[in-house]
Amino acid sequence: MHAFIQAVILGILTGGVYALMASGQTLIFGIMKVVNLAQGALVVLGAYLTYTLFTQLGIDPFLSILITTPLLFLVGVAVQWALLRPLHGDDVAQLSLLVTFAIALGIEGVLSFAYSATLTNVQPSYANFSWTVLGYQVSLVRFVAFVLSLVMLGALYFILQRTKFGRSVRATVQNPMSAQLLGVNANRVSALGFGLGAATAAAAGSVFGMLNSFNPGSHYDLISRLLTIVVLGGLGSIGGSVVAALVMGVASSVVSALASPIWSDFTFFIVLLLVLLIRPRGLFGARTRGAL
């Protein structure tokens, strides 16, 4: 029982970090119908930025989020403006797959050139610290990361629900044509939306860099996890991706600890398959557009 509860705690905390990454992914899909294969690479880019700020300037990895988030926001806006905006027509979804995959490979290439393929990680003094709560170990970094994810997700929710920009995003998601007719600047919404998605990757990247050793090729594993989370949660649903990330975190952790790590990812895919058989749109994918 002790091992089970410990595994559930770990799973929830890990799931929170994936929730942050996946929320950006699903936001971008919701607004633009773009499956962003570069989200994992953006997370790794965020991790390397944090690493550089920490090792070169001594900036705390959590504080560096204040720098990396706006930076990657700008990168996201620039990428959308330069590479995704020019795509037109019915095949935008397919073309964007290729474009975002190219972006991922480009980021990986630049990072390999700048940092080499050696594994690295961000190691502040408190990286391995944990609290003992009722006999269970709670890692400081994981806990702060979880809280941070909640804060970031809260901020995202606020932006989408309470601001004019958020309203135009939701309008675009529900019906792009009507939104444009009502004066919403679709290009602007898309660029800012992509920027927001990239910004969540920056925040997640800082945490990812403290929790894992990473190299420029780490994004392949990440993106496959993110895509399964987003599909399980229902494409375009931020709430869904949060729930799915927690389900994945807990399922992987419990199976890993109590059965075998070999089965941990497989278990998640079984859950994904079952959910898709019963609900082809994922847990929270709405039948009508506009699940945000």
Residues 25, 230: Cα–Cα separation, whole Å: 7
Q: Interface with another protein includes 10 (CB under 8 A)?
A: yes
How far is CA 286 from its chain centroid?
20
Size of the site for another protein (CB under 8 A): 39
Nearer to another protein, 48 or 73 (CB): 48
**256: contact with another protein by CB under 8 A:** yes
For residues 248 and 18, the answer to whether their CB atoms sit within 8 Å is yes
The b/e string for 110-122 (b: 16+ C-beta within 10 A; e otherwise) is: ebeeeeeeeebeb
Token pair for residue 34? Answer: 């773009």
- Least Å distance, CB 222 to another protein, is 8
253 binding another protein? (CB under 8 A): yes
**x/- site string to another protein, residues 215 to 234, per CB under 8 A?**
--x--xx-------------
Q: State the DSSP string of 125-158.
A: TTTT-EEEETTEEEEHHHHHHHHHHHHHHHHHHH
Residue 117 sits in the site that holds another protein (CB under 8 A)? yes
- Binding segment for another protein (CB under 8 A), chosen from 83-91, 120-128, 163-171, 192-200, is 120-128
Identify the residue among 213, 269, 273, 274 touching another protein (CB under 8 A). 213
Question: Which CB atom, from 247 or from 292, has the smaller least distance to another protein?
Answer: 247
Q: Would you count residue 6 as binding another protein (CB under 8 A)? A: yes
Q: How far is CA 173 from CA 16, 29, 235, 289, in A?
A: 25, 9, 12, 7
Can you tell me which of 212, 286, 289, 290 binds another protein, judged by CB under 8 A? 212
Question: C-beta of 243: minimal distance to another protein in Å?
Answer: 20
Residue 3 vs 273, nearer CB to another protein: 3
> In the bound complex, what is the minimum distance in angstroms from residue 179's beta carbon to another protein?
39
Binding segment toward another protein, per CB under 8 A, in 32-40, 148-156, 193-201, 253-261: 253-261
User: What are residue 7's phi and psi, to 5 degrees?
Assistant: -65, -40
**Which of the stretches 37-45, 130-138, 187-195, 239-247 binds another protein when contact is defined by CB under 8 A?**
130-138
CB 242 within 8 Å of CB 193: no
Contact criterion met (CB below 8 Å) for 20 and 149: yes
Pairwise CA distance, residues 180 & 131, whole Å: 52
Shortest CA distance to 144 belongs to which of 99, 210, 100? 210
| Helix or strand run (H / E) with residue 261 | helix 261-278
Site string for another protein, 28-67 (x = CB under 8 A): ----------------------------------------
Q: Tokens representing 166? A: 């958020």
Rounded Cα distance, 23 and 237, in Å: 8
Nearer to another protein among residue 104 and residue 156 (C-beta): 104
By CB under 8 A, name the binding residues for another protein: 2-3, 6-7, 10-11, 14, 116-121, 123, 125, 127-130, 132, 137, 139, 211-213, 217, 220-221, 252-254, 256-258, 260-262, 264-265
